[in-house]
A and B are shown apart, each in its own frame.
Chain A
Amino acid sequence: MKRDQKTPLRPHNSVREPAFRLSVTDGAELTEALRCGATRREVMGWLMASGMTATVAGTIIGGASNALAQTPKKGGQLRVAGFSSSTKDTLDPAKGSFSTDYARGFMFYNGLARLDESLKAQPELAESWEANADATEWVFRLKKDVTFHDGKKLDAQDVIYSILRHKDPKVASAAKTLADAVQEVKADGPNVVRVKLAGSNPDLPVLLGTYNFLIVKNGTADFSAAVGTGPYSVKEFKPGVRSVALRNPNYWKSDKPHVEEIEFFGIQDDAARLNALLAGDVHLMGQLDPTAIPRLESTPGYAVFETKSGQFSELVMMEDRAPSNNADLRAAFKYLFDRPRLVKTLLRGRGVVANDQPIDPTNPFYCTDIPQRVQDFEKAKFHLKKAGMENVTVPIYASDAAARSIEMAVLLQQAAQQIGLKIEIQRQPADAYWSNTWMKRAFHFAVWNPRPTADIILTLTFKSDAEWNESRWKSPEFDDLLLKARSEFNDDKRKTMYCRMQQLIRDDAGRAIVCFSSFLDGVSSKLKGLRPIPLGNFGGGQFAEDVWLDS
């Protein structure tokens, strides 16, 4: 179940698809890889897999300004291929855990707020909100005259039900932990909802703009269909097969949506999904493999849609067990990664280097003042010597479950040879990686999906007592700052606090966070209006009401 919380970035069928592919133009990288000890078979594999790609520079479409400059056209049938599809597909916002579920959710429902490109909460079903001084009590005023697909008017009871159901253990909501911070939700008239929190949280509107907190009709228990207030209604939904969404003619945003019908289904295989796009069978495909970028860009009529995000890849070094309990050994590892090269080769430049802390440049609280850590064999050697571990062999666990971790491990292994450190790569099957290896082995790779606020990601995995504190890092100063930042409304003061927290993690935590990768979708140039919301593929799941088809 852990895996659901950390939505896998790749489908689990990567068996025949090498995750790491270089184009033939990366000759220098390959020669180096060979010299540095990648086996001949590995390198041949990379070459074969790169196939007939040609590196042709292309244009990135997207960007709200570009899309909004044109007048949207009405109508048309949009076909979209997601990358996960199983009988687990759901229309219940409490249950969904894959980006296909998110995309469906935003077709059929609305949240109280909606997140924009900089992850700020904009009014949606709530037209305004305010909080008391310490952000523990909130008042949300609902828009009037919003109706559900069945004609019922939206009122405070629907909102109360939608929030409180996450606290019911029987619902088994993915957002239970977040909802447990809500102490009380009550109506103040038909269109006002008062929310009382157990602790202060200035980010509450952002939380309520995320997928799990989409608003369902009061009392809904059967989610075989979705009766929401969203831009589309359900025409058909078959888990593991497809959904068909029909334009909601009575949508409360009178100028939206634009498309008449959206057919949404899953193609798990990366290559098949790309082929479906290139053959004109779909207009939009989720999760483009970075190695396919040249092929897509060299085909006229198609483009890559990039959404920069805080999705990060890391090497976890657990502080409570050997050999990673040695601080100097951990420090040595942080100096071994050639981060720009990882971004260039593994992500094909669609990402940014990270600085051993999890807040990325799309986040309003990203700290620009911390010096970037770079590959430095001298420092790495120094720390290794200080640790007295020059002659040990360190096992490192990697798996396809943590996207691109096997390739990172190979590159790390090569770099480690430079300082005389031996690394043994333990490749694990994707199926049970999150339950059997993650947070169980001293050195292992992990990937985290972006979270809507800095507070959430820091609380989830860096707070001393967090269940998913992967490296068992404990810092009273950090915990203290995290709590203080929650009751601070002044953005400048909050930024100073978050900056300090980022510095603490970078310097001290047993986490080598090496890069932030962008979400990539493949799109037909007929499709316009996509906006990059930094939370995931398909414009953070919110593409449905913005997009339109240009004939």
Chain B
Amino acid sequence: MRWSIDGAHDVIRLIAGRLGLGAVTFLVVTLIVFAGTQLLPGDVAQQVLGPSATQATLAALRHTLGLDQAPYVRYLSWLGRLLTGNLGVSLVNGLPNSELIGPRLLHTLLLAGATAVFSVPFALVVGAAAAMLRDSLFDRVVTIVTLCVVSVPEFFLATVLVLIFAVKLGWVPAISYITEFHSVGQLLRSLALPVVSLSCVVVAQMARMTRAAILNVMNSPYIEMAILKGVPRRRIILRHALSNVIGPIANVVALNLAYLVGGVIIVETIFAYPGIAKLTVDAVSTRDMPLLEACAMIFCSAYLLFVLLADLFAIVSNPRLRHPK
């Protein structure tokens, strides 16, 4: 890869700007998360002590929890703790939130990681191949299959998979409830169904976007120029088109990965998988604000991080930025 000096400066400036924007977004997000949890109906002290609590014990607990302070004071002290890595203590069972979140976040990352390793390359290859073989039988099949898969709700897909592969055939367990590590084989068997269910959702979306993005670029004048010059189609796509579509594709991939970290409550429920989405739902239903805030920040950070990485990736891979006129 050849870089011009000016280009490198531009890229560094862009990256710095993007990182700064990321930091600002993070602050805005903390503000929204904090405000959002304040808006939930129900008072934490009341929730902890129950309906028979007296005003005096309520006031005492509110004081201990710092709930009697002004909102901005509470926000700043929360933000301070958050930035130093202190996620607080769960109000419901008194355990540190990091202890509650830690193992479950690992589970979530394991599932998301396994799904990503499986689905991202697959989706990109299928999408690119469909674009290359545009209007062929393969392209039509891919289009129809991905459209179908995208329209099927994941709970339905997951339940059907369980019925076939766990209940009827008995190849894999019906629940992916991992608590001890015995062997890689057993781990793969446990993860098989949730990974396949999640992959169906994300592969379809990513493959369609890849195909669409490549075809979009294929209609631009510089590709036409290349065609007129007699460059082979494969080379046009891989050499000229792909580098220009990496940006949008990276963003789609990033959004899907962020979804895998934060939004898989249905799959977690169906497979009784002890991940972080279920923990968040628990936190909402028990009004465990510190835990909820911690979980929400993890989701938001995951989104921010993935989108940031995608943008950075797009910046450094963009030929126009690497080779300025």
Q: Is B173 an interface residue (CB 8 A)?
A: yes
**A279 touching B54 by the CB < 8 A rule?**
no
| Inter-chain contact A267/B282, CB cutoff 8 Å | no
Majority DSSP secondary structure for residues of A touching B: loop
Q: Does B57 contact A (CB under 8 A)?
A: yes
From A236-244, A379-387, A486-494, the one touching the partner chain is A236-244
Binds A, one of B88-96, B223-231, B239-247, B317-325: B88-96
Task: Tell me the smallest distance from the CB of B281 to a CB of chain A, in Å.
Answer: 8
A170 CA to B50 CA in the complex, in Å? 10
Q: How far is the CB of B178 from chain A (nearest CB, A)?
A: 11
Partner of A239, one of B49, B93, B155, B174: B93
Cβ contact within 8 Å between B170 and A88: no
Contact A240 B49 (CB under 8 A): no
Interface 9-residue window, one of B7-15, B78-86, B135-143, B269-277 = B269-277
Contacting residues of chain A (375-434) with chain B, CB-CB under 8 angstroms: 431-432
- Chain A residue numbers with a CB within 8 Å of B167 are 275, 278-279
User: Would you call A86 an interface residue if the criterion is a C-beta within 8 Å of the partner chain's C-beta atoms?
Assistant: yes
The interface of chain A, by Cβ under 8 A from chain B, is 1-2, 4, 12-13, 16, 81, 86-90, 169-170, 172, 176-177, 224, 238-242, 265-269, 271-273, 275-276, 278-281, 431-432
A88 contacts across to B, CB distance below 8 A: 92-93, 282, 286
Which of A176, A238, A241, A272 lies in contact with B174, CB distance below 8 A? A272
Give, as a whole number of angstroms, the nearest-CB distance from A380 to chain B.
37
State whether the Cβ of B166 lies closer than 8 Å to any Cβ in chain A. Answer: yes
CB closest chain-B residue, reference A224: B95
A–B Cβ pairs within 8 angstroms, 27 of them? A1-B51, A2-B51, A4-B50, A12-B285, A81-B272, A86-B286, A87-B279, A87-B282, A87-B286, A87-B288, A169-B49, A169-B54, A172-B48, A172-B49, A172-B50, A176-B52, A242-B179, A265-B177, A267-B175, A269-B272, A272-B174, A275-B162, A275-B163, A279-B167, A279-B173, A279-B175, A281-B174
Chain B nearest CB, measured from A161 CB (Å): 20
Residues of chain A within 8 A of B37, CB atoms compared: none
**Smallest distance from the beta carbon of A172 to chain B beta carbons, Å?**
5
- Contact A279:B174 (CB < 8 A) given known A87-B90, A169-B54: yes
Check if A86 sits within 8 Å of B282, measured CB to CB: yes
The reply to whether B52 and A280 contact each other, CB–CB distance below 8 Å, is: no
Q: Please tell me the size bucket of the interface on B.
A: 35 or more
| Closest-CB distance, B313 to chain A (whole angstroms) | 36
The 6 closest A-B pairs by CB, nearest first: A279-B174, A279-B166, A267-B272, A86-B282, A275-B174, A1-B51
B65 within 8 A of A: no
Whether A278 touches B57, Cβ cut-off 8 Å, given contacts A87-B288, A240-B279, A269-B269, is: no
CA distance A396 to B319 in the complex (A): 66
Add 16 more A-B contacts to A240-B100, A275-B174 (CB < 8 A): A1-B46, A86-B286, A87-B93, A87-B286, A87-B291, A89-B93, A169-B49, A169-B53, A170-B57, A172-B53, A240-B274, A268-B272, A278-B174, A279-B173, A279-B175, A431-B285
Q: How far is the CB of A14 from chain B (nearest CB, A)?
A: 12
Contact of B159 with A by CB under 8 A: yes
Complex Cα distance, B61 from A169, in Å, reads 12
Q: Which residues of B contact A240 (CB under 8 A)?
A: 100, 274, 278-279, 282
